Amino acid sequence: MDHAVGWLGDAYLWVKALHVIFVIFWMAGLFMLPRFLVYWSQVAPGTPENDLWAERCARLKRIILNPGMIVVWVLGIMLAFHLGWPGWLMAKFLVVFGLSGFHGWMIGAARKFAAGERPYAEKTLRLVNEIPSLTTIVIVILVVVKPF
């Protein structure tokens, strides 16, 4: 396929490259936040260490997670319209939509931790820590193999 044919023209490869770069940033944050919560769950609320974890998570959200997700979505939608929404891309969109929901859930969990709540057991947090890995596997297979 001649990628210069779509609406992005010769900018297609640049948009694609930036999309991949920001996916890496966003995924780094999604790997870090659940792990932060595992460690934070062992800290008593109201302690100086609790305040440090709250600040770490706030920075991660502000500097990496939220900007990364926003740029990934903007560039991803641009690429989708350029490519014409093939079937594999629709499936990827659904997985990324779910990953965005996971992002929101983790941000909400960090907010609860900052408020002194510990709504999830350490074991639960360790299990959800695997969600970004599993979605990465699915997304890479969809993008590289294009099974449909």
Render the burial of 95-129: b for 16+ CB within 10 Å, e for the rest: ebeebeebbeebbebbeebbeeebebeeeebeebb
Which residues are known binding-site members for heme?
19, 92
pTM: 0.93
Instruction: Please tell me the predicted confidence (pLDDT) of residue 5.
Output: 78
Structural domain containing residue 113: 3-145
Half-sphere exposure in the Cβ direction for 124 (13 Å, CA): 7
Residue 3 has pLDDT above 80, yes or no: no
Residue 1 has pLDDT above 60, yes or no: no
> What are the structure tokens assigned to 99, written together?
């990953």
Which residues are known binding-site members?
19, 92
DSSP string, 110-129: HHHHHTT---S-HHHHHHHT
pLDDT band at 2 (very low <50, low <70, confident <90, very high): low
Q: Give the total number of structural domains in the chain.
A: 1
- Sole residue written with tokens 């890496």: 24
- At 109-134, the pLDDT tens digits run 999 999 999 999 999 999 999 999 99
